[in-house]
Structure 1
Amino acid sequence: MRKVGLYFGTFNPFHIGHLVIANHLAEHTELDEIWLVITPQSPFKKKNNLLENHHRLELVYRGTEDYSKLKPCDVEFKLPQPNYTSKTLAELRDTYPEKAFALIMGEDNLVSFHKWKNYETILDHHDLYICPRITKVEIPQQFKNNTKIHLTDTPVMEISSTLIRKMIKTGKNIRPLLQHKVWEYIDEMNFYK
């Protein structure tokens, strides 16, 4: 059974920090593939600076097309909103019964994981791959020594989509922060200006 890591995000825009983390997990863990799950625009919380779903999907597609183990995933675009991760995971299990899905998250998310809707069900069905953050956090006791929770040594990337959008708006050169095809699409479409 192929093991697929699910890396959720708005990817607004998809940048080299996302790429480095996803590729590291694909190359240095037992995960066979990483699917980058693009979080849709919430109909209840319209954000002016959030690109439309199809544009963010295109950015992830262009940023990963040279990496055979990385794939964009738009499963959440088809689910009713608001959506919970547990529903997305159930949908993927039903659609791809031949795959084992794991959830990728930062240490900061693990701290509040017990507050997620149906977190016990998620943990019953899925492994969690935890990425370190710049600021160290204390992992809750209930998650320590859990065989389904894997602490990874992914590089800590201090790059944010927010910073990239601000830099574009102020005319700064952000090319080193984006995979070349992603930069070309953003430049061609005049995004974030």
Structure 2
Amino acid sequence: MKRIGLFFGTFNPIHIGHLVLANHMVEFSDLDEVWFVITPQSPFKTNQSLLDNHHRYQMVYEALADYPKLKPSKIEFNLPQPNYTINTLTYLYEEYLGTHRFALIMGEDNLKSFHKWKNYEVILENHEIFVYPRISEGKTVSKLLDHPKIRQVDAPIMEISSSFIRREHGLGKNVRPLLPEKVWKYMDEMNFYRK
């Protein structure tokens, strides 16, 4: 059975921090692949800085082209909105019954609020969660840290954010080293995130 790590995000844009982290997960754990699950733009929110789904998918696709164990996924684009992780996991379970097992990948900052997620107990009961370190205010104090399904991974800490890239690129700063080369080219040609 194939073991898949699900890495959720808007990837607006995807950057080298995402790649380093996902590659670490797939090379230094028992995961066979990591799928980048691109969060769709909510029809209920209009976020000016969030690019259309297909542009973000294209950038993720370009970024992962040279990494056979890392895959782009637009699975959530076709699920009802607003979408909850439990719904995506249920869909994937039914779609890949008997052939794939799915785990979540999240930063320890997200683990702090995980108990507020819809049906979080069901997620924990059925899926492992790979938690990577983040620099954040205070240590993660969560009774979930000792849960048998929570696996803390000693991954590199990458404090690069998509919002930083968007903001600084908009101000004319050179953010090229923070992006995979193909993502930079696509972003530059399409004139994204410029004021």
Instruction: Tell me, in whole angstroms, the C-alpha distance in 1 between the residues paired with 2:172 and 2:192.
Output: 12
The 5 Å alignment of 1:7-156 reads 7-97=7-97, 98-135=99-136, 136-141=138-143, 143-156=144-157
Which SS does the other structure have where 1:48 is aligned? coil
Following superposition, the deviation at residue 3 of structure 1 comes to 0.4
What value does the CA root-mean-square deviation take over the aligned residues? 0.9
Indicate conservation of the 8 Å contact 1:7/1:35, yes or no: yes
Q: Give 1:168's aligned residue.
A: 169
Indicate conservation of the 8 Å contact 1:104/1:129, yes or no: yes
Residues 16-46 of structure 1: CA deviation (Å, up to 9, x unaligned): 0101101110101111100000000001111
Q: Give 1:190's aligned residue.
A: 191
Instruction: Tell me, in whole angstroms, the C-alpha distance in 2 between the residues paired with 1:70 and 1:80.
Output: 25
Instruction: Tell me, in whole angstroms, the C-alpha distance in 2 between the residues paired with 1:189 and 1:158.
Output: 26
Instruction: Tell me, in whole angstroms, the C-alpha distance in 1 between the residues paired with 2:58 and 2:88.
Output: 21
Following superposition, the deviation at residue 67 of structure 1 comes to 0.3
Following superposition, the deviation at residue 111 of structure 1 comes to 1.3
Following superposition, the deviation at residue 85 of structure 1 comes to 0.4
For structure 2, which runs of at least 5 residues remain unmatched after alignment?
A: none
| Residue identity matched to 1:110 | L
Indicate conservation of the 8 Å contact 1:86/1:117, yes or no: yes
Following superposition, the deviation at residue 139 of structure 1 comes to 3.3
Following superposition, the deviation at residue 138 of structure 1 comes to 2.6
Indicate conservation of the 8 Å contact 1:107/1:137, yes or no: no
Following superposition, the deviation at residue 112 of structure 1 comes to 1.3
Following superposition, the deviation at residue 117 of structure 1 comes to 0.4
TM-score between both structures, scaled by the size of structure 2: 0.96
Instruction: Tell me, in whole angstroms, the C-alpha distance in 2 between the residues paired with 1:61 and 1:32.
Output: 18
Identity %: 58
Residues 52-73 of structure 1: CA deviation (Å, up to 9, x unaligned): 0000000000001100100000
Q: Give 1:180's aligned residue.
A: 181
Which SS does the other structure have where 2:4 is aligned? strand
Indicate conservation of the 8 Å contact 1:13/1:56, yes or no: yes
Range that drifts further, 13-22 or 128-137 = 128-137
Instruction: Tell me, in whole angstroms, the C-alpha distance in 2 between the residues paired with 1:107 and 1:167.
Output: 26
